Amino acid sequence: MTDETPRQTLPTLLVVIGSLAAGVLAGVLLSQEAGGINGAYAPAGDTNARLVSLENSYKGIRKDFDEFEKQTLKIQSQNMPRRSIKLDVTSQSYDWIETDLGVLMVIVENVQPYADGQRITMRIGNPHNAAFVGFKGSFAYGKLGNFQTKDQDFTTTLNAGAWTNVSAILPKLPADQLDSIYMALDINQISLRR
């Protein structure tokens, strides 16, 4: 048994399936060039039927593989912590996000034009008894298939049991992309009272 995750085995499985299909196809073509099975040429219709059968088998394997991948991703998403969240820029409701040192809450207060970009003002809630000194925000934004990323270091202290206002500066985004901003947080230091 290996320690590979299902996500790591997907490319391996695809390579194996592709290799098998290529091997079977090569065998059919070599068999035809070598005089068919048992030295006789296979009729063209028989070869075509084999190719159609091989193609149908491949389509079935591909369909099963796609379903396997979909189910694997579903299971992974159920078991993974919420390391990133989609920022809600309209409702001012909070969402929670996990970090290595615990859960924090995030509310987007507003989005305003700023120089050649946009300033996203957020409140980050720290429900813990420890303060977090500095953190890094990683942002992804844009349209599906064309996401861009930006990291921003914050020197702000997230005080224990309190909300803290912070602002992130992102490039100017079209209005239809404002609801496609994702964020992850990494905490740098922890501070405890004596």
Q: What burial class does residue 172 get, using C-beta atoms within 10 Å of its C-beta: 0-12 exposed, 13-18 middle, 19+ buried?
A: exposed
- Shared-domain flag, residues 48 and 106: no
**Domain with 165 in it:** 84-191
Domain count, the chain: 2
For 133-148, the pLDDT digits (tens) are 999 999 988 877 777 8
For 29-80, the pLDDT digits (tens) are 555 554 544 444 555 567 888 888 888 888 888 888 877 777 766 665 555 5
Question: Average pLDDT for residues 110-123, to the nearest whole number?
Answer: 91
- Shared-domain flag, residues 100 and 183: yes
Strand order across the beta sheet in which 162-171 lies: 95-99, 102-114, 117-126, 162-171
- Shared-domain flag, residues 129 and 154: yes
- Shared-domain flag, residues 101 and 178: yes
Question: Which residues 6+ apart lie within 8 Å of 179 measured at CB?
Answer: 86, 88, 89, 90
The residue type of 64 is D
What pLDDT was estimated at residue 160? 95
- Shared-domain flag, residues 114 and 36: no
- Shared-domain flag, residues 116 and 89: yes
Question: Under a CB-based contact definition with an 8 Å cutoff, are residues 170 and 139 in contact?
Answer: yes
Q: What percent of the chain has pLDDT over 90?
A: 27
What pLDDT was estimated at residue 21? 54
Q: Which of 63, 79, 95 is a domain's end point?
A: 79
Instruction: Tell me, yes or no, whether 162 lies in a domain.
Output: yes
Question: Under a CB-based contact definition with an 8 Å cutoff, are residues 186 and 102 in contact?
Answer: no
Report whether pLDDT(104) > 80: yes
Q: How many CB atoms lie within 10 A of CB 160?
A: 15
Mean of all residue pLDDT scores within the chain: 78
What pLDDT was estimated at residue 151? 93
Q: How many residues can be counted in the chain?
A: 194
Q: At what angle do helices 44-79 and 6-33 cross, to 10 degrees?
A: 180
Residue with tokens 């992804």: 140
Q: Which of 79, 107, 131 is a domain's end point?
A: 79
What pLDDT was estimated at residue 162? 96
What pLDDT was estimated at residue 16? 53
* Measured distance CA(8)–CA(144) in Å, rounded: 23
- Name the most confidently modeled range: 3-12, 57-66, 67-76, 115-124: 115-124
- Shared-domain flag, residues 57 and 10: yes
Model confidence, pTM? 0.57
